[in-house]
Amino acid sequence: MDDVTELEYLSDLFRFRLQTLCTKLIAKNAELKSQGMSAYDINMMATSDLIQDLAQAYAERRTIDCCVDFLAGVQPAHDNKVMGAVFRVFALGCVKRDLSFYINEKAIKPQAGANLLIAQNSLIKTMATNVDDLLKLLAVPDEVLYAPPAQDYVGYFSRPNFGEVVAAKL
């Protein structure tokens, strides 16, 4: 498959990564235990990176599942499309980060991996053209839009503000 950008397919990829990492962890734990390594050394030294990858894979899979559930309740169709784009940008970013894993495990073809950036940029443009709809859908209060960080993000964070919002128009 050359198009892996649909939310359902991305969800399947996250599930695949989770299951694969879990299987690898179980196998590695059994192998190291048979070599006489202590449980502490196995978990803290030999498999800690794998455990962290597994934890992140679990969190990402749960996140995308919650996104799919959320989308089921979003109406009208235009709002559903805009939020779907947001969730797909997140998911594509995760897949791009772990692209070598997916290609090595033959979960996606290299050509599909090459198309991820193009698809993500297209979705970002969709989000940008619908930013006002997105703000309404997320119920962002108008007064937040006029806070100093929203007006000049780079300028505001170029100096220490110690967590204080100064000169906000409330």
For 115-129, write each residue's pLDDT tens digit: 999 999 999 999 999
- The ranges of the chain annotated as CATH 1.20.140.10 are 7-139
Q: Tell me the average pLDDT of the chain.
A: 89
Residue with tokens 């599909």: 112
pLDDT tens per residue across span 76-90: 999 999 999 999 999
pTM (two decimals): 0.81
How far, in Å, CA of 108 to CA of 106, rounded? 5
Fold for the domain defined by 7-139? Butyryl-CoA Dehydrogenase, subunit A; domain 3 (1.20.140)
Q: b or e along 36-56 (b: 16 or more beta carbons within 10 Å of the residue's beta carbon)?
A: ebeeeebbeebbeebbebbeb
pLDDT tier at 166 (50, 70, 90 boundaries)? low
**The pLDDT value given to residue 170:** 44
